[in-house]
Amino acid sequence: MKNIKWMKKPPVLRNTDSKLFSNLKNNNLMKKPKLFIDPVDYMNIHGCCQTTAQRKLAQLRKQYGVPPRKPLPIQVYCRHFDVEIEDVRRHFA
């Protein structure tokens, strides 16, 4: 279907006074806590390459009985490295 100008809806006028938070603060408020560790996160924390991160996460999944192709839960990661969950979540915030 062709984009016909007269079929478009008129722009919505937004009241700037009603905005309590900026977009950045809204994004931080809506951000969900991290539940899983993926290879990119492992690379950021440990400073290793991607293949090493994938291999280490596969070993951890096998050691703790997490099914293959499932992400490693953050609780398992913290238990293995003896780190507080809040410290890891603060690292990714």
Strand blocks (E) in the chain: 36-37, 72-73
What is the C-alpha to C-alpha distance for residues 76 and 62, in angstroms, rounded to an integer? 12
What is the C-alpha to C-alpha distance for residues 79 and 17, in angstroms, rounded to an integer? 47
> What pLDDT, in 10s, does the model give residues 47-82?
999 999 999 999 999 999 999 888 899 999 999 999
DSSP 38: -
Q: Where are the domains of the chain?
A: 34-92
pLDDT band of 89, cuts 50, 70, 90: confident
What's the Rg (C-alpha) of the chain? 21
